[in-house]
Amino acid sequence: MPHAPDEGFRAKGATPPSTDAFETEVLSLVPSLRRYSRSLAKSDTDGEDLLQDCVEKVLVRRSQWRGINLRAWAFTIMTNLYRDRHRRTSQHPSVELNDTLGLTAEDASGDPLEKTRLQRALNALTADHRTVLMLVVVEGYGYQDVADMLSIPIGTVMSRLSRARRQMAAQLAQNNIVTLRRPK
Amino acid sequence: MTDERPPVTEDDLHAYVDGFLDEDRRREVEAWLKDHPKEAADVAAWQAQAADLKAAFSPYARLDEADNAMVHPAPSPTTNTPWRKAAILAASLVLFLSGAAVGIYADRTLGYSVSVETASALESLPAQSKSAFLIYASEKRHPVEVGADQQEHLVTWLGKRLDYKLVAPDLRSQGYSLVGGRLVPVNGKAGAMLMYENAAGQRLTMLLGKNPENAETSFRFESAGPLETFYWIDGSIGYAVTGELGRAELQAIAEECYRQFES
């Protein structure tokens, strides 16, 4: 049977995974954790910091893990870390132009101007709206999954998603982005 | 309009954008949007937004060289596995086979030296191979980028990126057929992953990465939970085979690969 990293491999037996197996499991989650951390952060550097804090916390707290769905558990830890940070930093808001340009360094192919605008529109969202948007759109979680991960009612997930989308759309329209793509 | 269909709510519009509606409802919403241009414009904007966000952040879903160290923070000396100990030793000096290290670095050619560069490339190979297995072997819909039906194209393309005449080993004698392959980062450079599957749907993956220099090592293996990995370096390429199967069975497969790569 192919190994399914998302399923709790501890569920079937009483013995906890060896340190090595747990770390291997965490390593397999790093790519999606990196994508999620970057989608929440203002720059590449911030994203990597968040990722490292999250991995550290996951390793330290491994005894608290109940053995099911490590991915969702790690994503919840990352979300909480991000919200804590955001609360701290939003008291001293700063717009760093170089930071917003960070996104372009990664992928030379896209239009740098458009990416900067996208990053700005994202930075204008509240932490709660941004997490829901990213979990649904980029990470592909279902609405009920997001509700469970964030311990909020599904109605709240829907209203945050709606606000995030409308605010982004308004912001991008203001920035004169013309959407040339047609809906499928 | 009068019909029996439930009214389209804003939640439906989001579920439509996110692909969470069943086929019937999706068609209903689509038809409804034709008569509601304002909502249709919102939906179009959200779809474009979603595509932009995915495009902007999906390149970050990757493993970096330092990730292994991040997940395995400074191991205490008592928990060091033999090969890790050997790699630490190799990092401090160019390692020539000494009596103590025989068995760890017992290579095909006795007296063969393993440089720092090769030792560190070798060390990270099994971890990267395990990650590739864990990430891709469980993928149901897109386990590979190029399928076995385009084998010719697959080996030419990957071989080109590796600057190496790649052959996809024929493992049918072992009961495994080629699923396909994809381009993956190995030690921060372009590498290749090939995937095989047996009749029972059990998969194994093979990772090929550029080695910093020509070298030759013996087979090594590493176990992590249910996973076994065999790895070795031959010339300018490092190889690793990972699967969730018995060590003897995987070794036979690794040896078969080695034999076919040699020619």
B182 touches chain A (CB under 8 A): no
Per-residue HEC secondary structure of chain A comes to CCCCCCCCCCCCCCCCCCHHHHHHHHHHHHHHHHHHHHHHCCCHHHHHHHHHHHHHHHHHCHHHCCCCCHHHHHHHHHHHHHHHHHHHHCCCCCCCHHHHHHHHHHCCCCCHHHHHHHHHHHHCCCHHHHHHHHHHHCCCCCHHHHHHHHCCCHHHHHHHHHHHHHHHHHHHHHCCCCCCCCCC
List, as ranges, residues 100-159 from A with C-beta within 8 Å of B: 103, 106-107, 110, 114-115, 118-119, 133-134, 136-138, 142-143, 158
Give me the mean pLDDT over the B27-43 stretch: 95
Identify all chain B residues contacting A110, using CB atoms and an 8 Å cutoff.
55-56
Domains in chain A: how many in total?
1
Which residue in chain B is spatially nearest to A180 when comparing CA positions?
B48
B71–A136 CB contact, under 8 Å? no
pLDDT-based confidence at residue B88 (cuts at 50, 70, 90): very low
A172 touches chain B (CB under 8 A): yes
Per-residue pLDDT tens digits for B208-218: 998 877 777 77
Identify all chain A residues contacting B47, using CB atoms and an 8 Å cutoff.
181, 183-184
C-alpha distances (whole Å) from A61 to each of A146, B11, B237 are 21, 36, 38
Q: Is residue A108 part of a domain?
A: yes
Neighbours of B106 (CB within 10 A): 13
Give me the mean pLDDT over the A14-28 stretch: 73
Instruction: Express as a percent the part of chain B with pLDDT over 90.
Output: 33
A183–B201 CB contact, under 8 Å? no
A82: pLDDT strictly greater than 70 = yes
Instruction: Express as a percent the part of chain B with pLDDT over 70.
Output: 78
A31–B61 CB contact, under 8 Å? yes
* CATH number of the domain encompassing residue A75: 1.20.140.160
Query: Judging by DSSP bridges, how do beta strands B220-224 and B203-216 pair with one another?
Result: unpaired
CA distance B61 to B206: 20
pLDDT, residue A62, reads 85
- The larger pLDDT score, comparing residue A117 to residue B246, is at B246
A47 touches chain B (CB under 8 A): yes
Q: Is residue A3 part of a domain?
A: no
Q: Is residue A182 part of a domain?
A: no
Per-residue pLDDT tens digits for A109-142: 455 556 677 888 899 999 999 999 999 999 999 9
Nearest by CB to residue B68, choosing from A27, A136, A182, is A27
pLDDT, residue A164, reads 97
Residue from A55, A68, A66, A24 nearest B244 by CA: A24
Pairs across A and B, CB distance < 8 A: 146
Minimal CA separation from B130 to chain A, in Å: 8
A101: pLDDT strictly greater than 60 = no
Q: Is residue A8 part of a domain?
A: no
pLDDT-based confidence at residue A100 (cuts at 50, 70, 90): very low
A35–B202 CB contact, under 8 Å? no
Identify all chain A residues contacting B68, using CB atoms and an 8 Å cutoff.
27
Per-residue pLDDT tens digits for B60-80: 988 888 888 888 866 544 444
pLDDT, residue B3, reads 56
Residue from B250, B259, B251, B131 nearest B193 by CA: B131
B84: pLDDT strictly greater than 60 = no
A57 touches chain B (CB under 8 A): no
Which residue in chain B is spatially nearest to A10 when comparing CA positions?
B225
pLDDT, residue B72, reads 80
pLDDT-based confidence at residue B117 (cuts at 50, 70, 90): low
Torsion of CA A11, A15, A20, A25, to 10 degrees: 0
pLDDT-based confidence at residue B118 (cuts at 50, 70, 90): low
Which residue in chain B is spatially nearest to A20 when comparing CA positions?
B224
pLDDT, residue B247, reads 84
B73 touches chain A (CB under 8 A): yes
A18 touches chain B (CB under 8 A): yes
Whether the CB-CB separation of B208 and B191 falls below 8 Å is answered with yes
- The larger pLDDT score, comparing residue A176 to residue A163, is at A163
Nearest by CB to residue B73, choosing from A38, A59, A183, is A59
What's the mean pLDDT when you consider all of chain A?
77
A169: pLDDT strictly greater than 80 = yes
Lowest mean pLDDT among A28-42, A51-65, B115-129, B170-184: B115-129
Q: Is residue A123 part of a domain?
A: yes
Q: List the domain range (segments joined by +) for residue A26.
A: 19-174
Lowest mean pLDDT among A97-106, A146-155, B104-113: B104-113
Class of domain B121-262: alpha beta
B20–A143 CB contact, under 8 Å? yes
Identify all chain B residues contacting A100, using CB atoms and an 8 Å cutoff.
none
B114: pLDDT strictly greater than 90 = no
A12 touches chain B (CB under 8 A): no
Picking from B34, B49, B80 by the largest number of A CB atoms within 10 A of its own CB, the best residue to mutate is B49
Q: Is residue A72 part of a domain?
A: yes
pLDDT, residue B176, reads 94
B160: pLDDT strictly greater than 60 = yes
CA distance A138 to B92: 43
Look up tokens 């065999």; give the residue: B230
Nearest by CB to residue B60, choosing from A3, A26, A106, is A106
Q: How far apart are the first and last CA of chain B?
A: 72
B69 touches chain A (CB under 8 A): no
B15 touches chain A (CB under 8 A): yes
Domain boundaries, chain B: 10-55, 121-262
A21–B54 CB contact, under 8 Å? no
pLDDT, residue B124, reads 79
* ipTM, interface predicted TM-score of the complex: 0.79
pLDDT, residue A111, reads 54
pLDDT, residue A20, reads 73
